[in-house]
Structure 1
Amino acid sequence: MFRNRFLQFGLLITVLGVLYFIFFDNDSASSAGASENIPPETYRRQVGDERQKKDDFFRTSSDSPVSDKTAFRGLLYFPPDLTYRVSARVEPFADKSQKLIVRMSDGSEEVYTKYAHAAFSLEGQVHRLLMLQHDGNLSILFRDATSGKETYGGGRYIDIEADAIENNRVVLDFNAAYNPYCAYNPEYACPLPPAENTLPVAIRAGEKYVDSH
């Protein structure tokens, strides 16, 4: 009798192990695959080039949110880290017409479309973030454990190209996370992340923030 129970328990453990490998190990492997083909030095150079272009835009463009461009010394960033470039499983909504009322930084509201959830592994935990669509653009608005400390308290954004989603998977690169314009100029109204998009971990990647107001 005890032997049969032991065998049944052993079989259960084996089945759970297989399920873990299928559903979680695949995600882990995919997460690793999001960065394994990019040499770290090449990646750091690419990210550095993009950040320089953004600094130039903020310093010179009439569309820049920076009002005093002569005092602008460049944006602040965490060092590029491939750990924060992860592969996510895209979980679309069955009802494509689901809407979300998004609160803006000036107290107004806008209507966004719920596009999908993005599920990914980071720091040994599985996370899910709501992906929103507005004016044809896809983005993730999120907060994390750095918000209001090392990064902007109003949250940060990641933009996603629709054609970057293949077979319900997409690469989320938190090194590209950026602050909304209202972080640099209160005259702008920016959407605030929905409550469910608050990550319990610290995302030390992308734009940092120091309140200079």
Structure 2
Amino acid sequence: MIKNRFFLTGLLLLTLIVVYYTFFDSGNGTSVGGLDESVNPAAYRQEIEKQRNEKNRFLKSDAQSPVKDKTNFKGLVYFEPDPAYRVAARLEPFADKTQKLVVRMSDGSEEVYDKFAHAVFSLNDKTGRLLIVKLQNTYSILFRDATSNKETYGGGRYIELNPDQLTGNRVILDFNTAYNPYCAYNPTYACPIPPAENTLPIAIKAGEKYLQHE
């Protein structure tokens, strides 16, 4: 069983950095805990679509792709890019920086992650609170929501965070970048299962949907 902690870390982090520095002005029009109002919606949607196309090209052609039948791979399925699902969250760091989280993997094994902070935000008039974990130099949120096992992958989805954003008391959570792990497409991979506390009661209709790919 191949361990797959996170999906396309390099590509996703590059996407986050590009989107962040292109569309986010930390001093203009953003309310902590709610909608990030600082983006240009049309340009933002265009950039998200571009990154999704790049990911499809990777999955169809790269030797590291988990998709087994690349010939018949038609591309991933997504919710439409929606700036309303790009929200500013307040960071609540742990006073004890040594706290750990034992994460169960899809193959029954376990891995240990650092607890970094909780992100508190408002979305669809509801308050959400999600744990951010750290593994080596990767900061991520592993979560489920009301779409899980329906429109989206039942094992949960992930968001990766730009480390450059994690120096203050707030962070942008862009659910349009939520993605499925390798094990969603290939059972030979083992992926981390979101902790119970990261189950949102609301439907996050943003990011990657789920269709079975061979």
Fold shared, TM-score > 0.5 on shorter chain:
yes
Aligned residue in 1 for 2:166: 165
Aligned residue in 1 for 2:31: 29
Amino acid corresponding to residue 101 of structure 2 in structure 1: L
Aligned residue in 2 for 1:44: 45
Aligned residue in 1 for 2:91: 90
Q: Aligned pair 1:75/2:76, yes or no?
A: yes
Shift of 1:91: 0.6
Aligned residue in 1 for 2:15: none
Amino acid corresponding to residue 150 of structure 1 in structure 2: E
Shift of 1:166: 4.2
1:71 counterpart SS class:
coil
Aligned residue in 1 for 2:155: 154
Kindly report which structure 2 residues correspond to 1:1-213, keeping only aligned pairs within 5 A, or say none. Answer: 29-31=31-33, 34=36, 36-211=37-212
Amino acid corresponding to residue 76 of structure 2 in structure 1: L
Shift of 1:31: 5.0
Provide TM-score, normalisation by structure 1: 0.83
Amino acid corresponding to residue 29 of structure 1 in structure 2: S
Aligned residue in 2 for 1:23: none
The two structures, once aligned, show a CA RMSD in angstroms of 1.4
Q: Which runs of 5+ in 2 are unaligned?
A: 1-29
CA distance in 1, matches of 2:157, 2:124: 19
Shift of 1:211: 3.2
CA distance in 2, matches of 1:42, 1:166: 26
Q: 1:32 to 1:120 in 2, by over 3 A?
A: closer
Count of matched residue pairs: 185
Q: Which runs of 5+ in 1 are unaligned?
A: 1-27
Provide TM-score, normalisation by structure 2: 0.83
Instruction: Write the deviation string for residues 76-101 of structure 1: whole angstroms up to 9, x where unpaired.
Output: 00000011000001111000111111
Between 38-47 and 110-119, report the one with greater CA deviation: 38-47
CA distance in 1, matches of 2:33, 2:44: 16
Shift of 1:165: 2.1
Instruction: Write the deviation string for residues 63-87 of structure 1: whole angstroms up to 9, x where unpaired.
Output: 1010110010000000000110000
1:94 counterpart SS class:
coil
Q: 1:51 to 1:135 in 2, by over 3 A?
A: same
CA distance in 2, matches of 1:37, 1:141: 26
Q: 1:92 to 1:31 in 2, by over 3 A?
A: closer
1:30 counterpart SS class:
coil
CA distance in 2, matches of 1:185, 1:164: 32
Q: 1:97 to 1:31 in 2, by over 3 A?
A: closer
Higher helix share: 1
Higher relative contact order (CA 8 A, sep 6+): 2
Instruction: Write the deviation string for residues 165-185 of structure 1: whole angstroms up to 9, x where unpaired.
Output: 242111000000000000000
